[in-house]
């Protein structure tokens, strides 16, 4: 069985989930098949989003899998261009998924956009604080068990915690051996916010339409230390990276549409401290560190949306 973490709401979340971002919106039947394969392999945690454009297919996979809804931890997310209509967008997601509740509802990004996808300058309504208050109100409907955020920096979380009542159950951010986000993780842990690591394999598959924003190279999967740990335990380098993620107390949500890799990604190991120490230092090697300028680096036009790596 896949180990669980407990959220600050008391609900349990499986430490590994299947990620449903397919590189561009959609995925349709591919996502449906991926979720079915994952559920059959023993996954009980699916991470999707309104913005992934595949909630209908995730819902269909759940219904047709034969796995009872209440055994599955289901996450979806509020898109940027719906911050002004949280309740309506949430209901839309529920109906696309065809479920009567979700386990976790996340604010996908701290940045609101207009309906026609223009960023709304920082500080203008709806601010992420206003949006969060509308998400808090969803808890009273009984249709969402926990709420959280995604892509939030410490700086933004400080504002959120100061100005609102409910502490997010999770902050879902990119996290892997080349981007361990040590400070953010510690800050969140101290406040009961669980980190969910997206792209826990360091984005080996390049995202289309974002040329130059990252090189797409799976650097740590080729790293000699990662490989030697993998060989020692008869694991793949990906399993080593995912084991590291879970062992350090983060949820990991690798996406894979390959049945063998789907199965592989839930067979993880409790790594000894010495291996954890080696893996903790991978990002310190020359050329291995990726720091993401998270969304507190306000861009010139006053928006907080950004996607920039420092090398």
Check: CB of residue 45 under 8 Å from CB of residue 73: yes
Q: Which residue is nearest to ligand A2P (CB)?
A: 205
Q: Would residue 52 show up in a list of annotated catalytic residues for this protein?
A: yes
The answer to whether 227 contacts ligand A2P (rule: CB under 6 A) is no
Residue 240: exposure state from Cβ atoms within 10 A (0-12, 13-18, ≥19): buried
- CA pair distance 242, 290, nearest whole angstrom: 18
**CA nearest to 75, candidates 47, 36, 38:** 47
- CA pair distance 54, 36, nearest whole angstrom: 14
Shortest CB 269 distance to ligand A2P, Å:
14
User: What length is written for the chain?
Assistant: 311
Shortest CB 23 distance to ligand A2P, Å:
7
Among the listed residues 11, 43, 50, 52, the single catalytic one is 52
Cis peptide before 126 (omega within 30 of 0): yes
The answer to whether 299 contacts ligand A2P (rule: CB under 6 A) is no
**CA nearest to 107, candidates 83, 142, 143, 71:** 83
The answer to whether 199 contacts ligand A2P (rule: CB under 6 A) is yes
Per DSSP, the three-state class of 129 is: helix
The answer to whether 201 contacts ligand A2P (rule: CB under 6 A) is yes
The answer to whether 110 contacts ligand A2P (rule: CB under 6 A) is no
Binding pattern to ligand A2P, positions 244-283, x when CB under 6 A? Answer: ----------xxxxx--x--xx------------------
Shortest CB 148 distance to ligand A2P, Å:
18
Span near ligand A2P by CB under 6 A; candidates 5-13, 152-160, 184-192, 201-209: 201-209
Under the rule (CB under 6 A), what is the footprint of ligand A2P? 19, 21, 199, 201, 203-205, 236, 238, 254-258, 261, 264-265
Residues identified as active-site: 52
């Amino acid at each position: 069985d896949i180990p669980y973490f407990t959220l600050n709401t008391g609900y349990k979340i499986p430490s590994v989930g299947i990620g449903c971002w397919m590189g561009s919106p959609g995925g349709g039947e591919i996502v449906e098949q991926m979720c079915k394969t994952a559920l059959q392999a023993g996954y009980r945690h699916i991470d999707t989003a309104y913005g992934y454009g595949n909630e209908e297919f995730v819902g269909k996979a759940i219904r047709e899998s034969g796995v009872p809804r209440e055994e599955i931890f289901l996450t979806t997310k509020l898109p940027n261009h719906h911050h002004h209509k949280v309740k309506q967008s949430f209901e839309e997601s529920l109906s696309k998924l065809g479920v009567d509740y979700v386990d976790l509802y996340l604010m996908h990004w701290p940045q609101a956009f207009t309906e026609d996808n223009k960023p709304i300058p920082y500080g203008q309504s709806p601010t992420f604080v206003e949006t969060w208050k509308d998400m808090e109100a969803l808890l009273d409907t009984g249709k969402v068990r926990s709420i959280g955020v995604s892509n939030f920096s410490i700086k933004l979380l400080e504002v959120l915690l100061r100005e609102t009542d409910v502490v997010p159950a999770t902050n879902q951010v990119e996290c892997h051996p080349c981007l361990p986000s040590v400070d953010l993780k510690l800050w969140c842990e101290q406040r009961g916010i669980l980190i969910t690591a997206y792209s826990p394999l360091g984005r080996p598959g390049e995202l289309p339409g974002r040329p130059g924003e990252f090189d797409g190279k799976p650097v740590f999967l080729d790293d000699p230390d990662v490989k030697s740990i993998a060989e020692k335990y008869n694991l793949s380098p990906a399993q080593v990276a995912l084991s590291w993620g879970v062992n350090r107390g983060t949820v990991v949500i690798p996406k894979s549409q390959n049945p063998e890799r789907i199965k592989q990604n839930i067979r993880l190991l409790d790594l000894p401290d010495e291996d954890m120490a080696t893996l903790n230092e991978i990002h310190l090697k020359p050329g291995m560190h990726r720091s993401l300028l998270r969304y507190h680096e306000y861009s010139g036009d006053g928006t907080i949306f950004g996607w920039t790596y420092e090398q």
